[in-house]
């Protein structure tokens, strides 16, 4: 028997991207940084662990409050052990940029998933700035070895719109000689640019180009982390496709480079109301109220993709319940996430009765298909795990999700919040 509604008010955890950066930038700033709304997920805790190994004093006051006693970039110590980023692609790529500013030696590793994720998109441009970098397959895979110092600014035309690539290069340019510029094919998330400015760094943005002049330092500050819209996305879709639902999500980040999920769902006919928008902060936020609504198929592609790349698994689920066909394209980036998300989404949802075809750069989803219970697997990917949990709410019969613990990477309280909205707690 399928669920008859999700109802209630929740506050999703702090934004993962902003939580990572607040610890990183606080660590290389002069003075103390206080962080409120921090996400205590596994990935962000990996970032804290790495910077502690670099000699930074970081106090986790409670689940959402962190105090970082910055040492300045040149105050970072050479670590006596390897820096293990766990499952976090953001940590490994951004920390490479930061460590490029020091002449120390560093070795970076991660888990099995990280070992499969391509790093040349970052190591190649960093090498062109004068940084010594090596690793498996000429620096494309971990373990990676890095020694920085004597960095030269570059102008880099990125073949992909990637906030991680852009951020790594800009961070390497903090103390580089001259100006460092990154030009993207489409605009990616701008959390790094916004936060650098909050720490007192001057960043120049012009169209699809972002520049930073070398020789700048960061000053400790207070960072308020809004709720993660990528986490909210699971409940925005759940509230839309589960009948008799009404969910209010408090203080969700509304950064325009991240709100593609709202554009897509509204275009599909979703009922989402925005309340209490606050824009006089580095990262705007609002409360979102979602109610059940009939959805229709749509097309997702082009410059929308960088604004919702992490939300595509849950968009695919929404599309299975929409009338008509949904086409997702220009999303080949999904192949190099925690899993090959194109194949994984298609395979796991098809086990539950969905009608989805994989394409080279996305998927075609034939909507209006009832789902049934099945044995499915997150494959260690947090976003696949949460998507399958929402799918189980509309499936007839029992669904068993293997490796569901993967959700702790970005949303440790996900299942507790789901139970609360079901009325189980």
Phi, psi torsion values for 52, nearest 5 degrees: -65, -40
Q: Are 76 and 104 in contact (CB under 8 A)?
A: yes
Omega within 30 of 0 (cis) for the link into 143: yes
Q: What is the DSSP letter of 117?
A: S
Q: Are 388 and 348 in contact (CB under 8 A)?
A: yes
**Known binder of ligand: residue 189?**
no
DSSP 242-288: STT-EEEEEEEE--TTTTHHHHHHHHTT-EEEEEEEE-SSSS-EEEE
* Cα 192 from Cα 75, distance rounded (Å): 21
**Known binder of ligand: residue 404?**
no
Closest CA to 239 of 9, 14, 1: 9
Question: What tokens were used for 17?
Answer: 């991207």
Q: Catalytic one among 134, 310, 343, 381? A: 310
**Known binder of ligand: residue 383?**
yes
Report the sign of the C-alpha dihedral through residues 258, 261, 264, 267, in that order: negative
Q: What is the DSSP letter of 63?
A: T
**Known binder of ligand: residue 310?**
yes
* Cα 239 from Cα 25, distance rounded (Å): 36
Q: Are 201 and 174 in contact (CB under 8 A)?
A: yes
**Known binder of ligand: residue 121?**
no
Q: Are 291 and 245 in contact (CB under 8 A)?
A: yes
User: Angle at Cα 308 formed by Cα 291 and Cα 83, nearest 5°?
Assistant: 120
Question: What tokens were used for 97?
Answer: 């940029």
Asked if 190 is an active-site residue, the reply is no
Residue 350's CB is within 10 A of a number of other CB atoms, namely 16
DSSP 275-331: EEEE-SSSS-EEEEEEE----B--EE-GGGGGGTGGGHHHHHHHHHTSBSEEEE-S-
Binding-site residues for phosphoenolpyruvate, in ranges, read: 16, 89, 117, 164, 341, 383
Question: Which sequence positions are flagged as catalytic?
Answer: 310
Binding-site residues, in ranges, read: 16-17, 21, 89, 117, 162, 164, 310, 337, 341, 383
Binding-site residues for 3-phosphoshikimate, in ranges, read: 16-17, 21, 162, 164, 310, 337
């Amino acid at each position: 028997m399928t669920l008859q509604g999700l109802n209630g008010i929740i506050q999703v955890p702090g934004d993962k991207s902003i939580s990572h950066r607040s610890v990183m930038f606080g660590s290389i700033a002069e003075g103390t940084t206080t962080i409120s709304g921090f996400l205590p997920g596994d990935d962000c805790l990996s970032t804290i662990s790495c910077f502690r190994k670099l000699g930074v004093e970081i106090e986790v006051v409670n689940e959402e409050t962190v105090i970082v006693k910055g040492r300045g970039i040149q105050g970072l110590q050479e670590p006596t052990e390897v820096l293990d980023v766990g499952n976090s692609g953001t940590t490994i790529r951004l920390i490479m940029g930061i460590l490029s500013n020091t002449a120390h030696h560093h070795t970076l590793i991660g888990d099995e998933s990280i070992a499969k994720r391509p790093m040349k998109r970052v190591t190649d441009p960093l090498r062109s700035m004068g940084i010594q970098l090596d690793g498996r397959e000429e620096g494309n895979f971990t373990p990676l070895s890095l020694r920085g110092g004597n960095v030269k600014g570059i102008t880099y035309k990125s073949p992909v719109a990637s906030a991680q690539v852009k951020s790594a290069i800009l961070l390497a340019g903090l103390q580089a000689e001259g100006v460092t510029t990154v030009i993207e094919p489409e605009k990616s998330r701008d959390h790094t640019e916004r936060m650098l400015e909050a720490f007192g760094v001057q960043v120049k943005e012009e169209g699809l180009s972002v520049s930073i002049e070398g020789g700048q330092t960061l000053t400790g500050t207070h960072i308020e982390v809004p709720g993660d819209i990528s986490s909210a996305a699971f409940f925005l879709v759940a509230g839309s496709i589960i009948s008799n639902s009404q969910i209010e999500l408090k203080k969700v980040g509304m950064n325009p480079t991240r709100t593609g999920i709202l554009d897509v769902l509204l275009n599909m006919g979703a009922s989402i109301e925005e309340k209490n928008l606050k824009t006089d902060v580095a990262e705007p936020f609002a409360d979102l109220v979602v109610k059940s609504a009939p959805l229709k198929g749509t097309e997702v592609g082009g410059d929308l993709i960088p604004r919702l790349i992490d939300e595509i698994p849950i968009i695919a689920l929404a599309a299975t319940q929409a009338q008509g066909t949904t086409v997702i394209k220009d999303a080949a980036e999904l192949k190099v996430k925690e899993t090959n998300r194109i194949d994984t989404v298609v395979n796991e949802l098809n086990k539950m009765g969905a009608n989805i075809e994989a394409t080279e750069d996305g998927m075609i989803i034939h909507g209006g298909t009832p789902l049934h219970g099945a044995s499915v697997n997150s494959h260690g990917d947090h976003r696949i795990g949460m998507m399958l949990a929402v799918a189980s709410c509309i499936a007839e019969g029992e669904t068993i999700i293997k490796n569901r613990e993967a959700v702790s990477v970005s949303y440790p309280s996900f299942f507790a919040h789901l139970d609360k909205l079901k009325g189980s707690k």
